[in-house]
Amino acid sequence: MLAIGSDHGGFLLKEKIIEFLETEGIDFRDFGTYDAQSVDYPDFALQVAQAVASGECDRGILCCGTGIGVSITANKVPGIRAALCGDTFSARASREHNDANILALGERVIGPGLAVDIVKVWLESEFSGGRHDRRLKKIAAIERGYTKGE
């Protein structure tokens, strides 16, 4: 299952992505917000990140005005690798090289058509493993408080 959430600045983009997910028959859980009234992005980014980190959801998508605030917040949760992507190349690489488990998008930065293309590529891409696995282990070690690679 996919987790999705946004603040007011990403609400309309989240709704477009939900339309795409429904059309594709992709199961998701909407963590809000549910309208364009002003809210604080950390509240929604944390909920999505916790759902992914706990295994309740496999991956997540977060939207805000720029995608920056939600990605910073989500990346504070251990085990989360949130990637802010504004193009399909980065979306593919974030999955293949970084095993990104949350995609962050900025409604005020990209349009809905590109956003849906990015989501599609991100959902279809898989982690490549190999040399990239070693790098993810180093990131996990940093999360545990180590400064030297394992």
Q: Is 21:2 a contact under the CB 8 Å cutoff?
A: yes
Exactly one of 57, 63, 64, 85 is catalytic; which is it? 64
**Distance between CA atoms of residues 97 and 55, nearest Å:** 21
Residues 20/59/62/33 CA torsion (nearest 10 deg):
80
The two tokens of residue 3 are 């987790």
Residue 64 annotated as catalytic: yes
Residue 63 annotated as catalytic: no
Contacts of 47 by beta carbon, 8 Å cutoff, 6+ apart = 3, 5, 31, 32
Active-site residue set: 64, 97
